[in-house]
Amino acid sequence: MAAGVTWALGGLPPAQAQGMVSGKLLGLREMLDPIVAGALVVRTGVHIETVILADNGLSVPFRVWVDSPMTAQDHVTHLWLLSQRNPVTVMAKLHLGPHMGRAEFSTRLRLAGGQQLVALARLSSGEFRYELADLIVTEAGCVDGS
């Protein structure tokens, strides 16, 4: 029943399609599997705020927050910022605790070209939740994409 969804994840086009030369684009599964290791992942409760366009990937503002009361019983334990295209998929891993009061984090990312970004949260219940964001790094030059 989720087969359609599952297969859609693997079929991303190769990176060359955009004329960028920074390696292949990972599918969602390839990004998440090493972390979630077979656990259920639900796309809910995680929010991303970033720019839509970037002239280059050197410093891209990125904010993520997770719906969570951040209490001892119910809080976010981990947050991963994942890149579909960077040579290193995990841009940052965060260990959080109830003391934070708010499951929110802002930073600036370094990205090797346009891609989808994923924020993955692990809750104290063991549940995984995620959100995606599209980011376009505009073409800065006459790279021969042929």
Q: Residues 107 to 126: which contact another protein by CB under 8 A?
A: 107-116
Distance of CA 64 to the CA centre of its chain: 10
List binders of another protein among 11-50 (CB under 8 A).
11-13, 15, 17-23, 25, 27-29, 32, 36, 38-44
Nearest to 112 by CA among 41, 43, 46, 19: 19
CA atoms within 13 A on the CB side of 57: 17
Which is closer to another protein, CB of 2 or CB of 73?
A: 2
Q: Shortest Cβ distance from residue 49 to another protein (Å)?
A: 11
Which is closer to another protein, CB of 17 or CB of 125?
A: 17
- Taking CB under 8 A as the rule, does residue 73 contact another protein? no
- By CB under 8 A, the count of residues binding another protein is 87
Q: Shortest Cβ distance from residue 124 to another protein (Å)?
A: 15
- Taking CB under 8 A as the rule, does residue 92 contact another protein? yes
Q: Shortest Cβ distance from residue 121 to another protein (Å)?
A: 14
Structure tokens at 26: 């990972």
- Taking CB under 8 A as the rule, does residue 86 contact another protein? yes
One-letter amino acid for residue 144 of the chain: D
Scan for tokens 């964001």, then name that residue: 133
Among 69, 72, 101, 125, binds another protein (CB under 8 A): 101
Cβ-contact 81, 64 below 8 angstroms: yes
94-100 CB contacts, 8 Å cutoff, 24+ apart: 96/70, 98/70, 98/71, 98/72, 100/70, 100/75
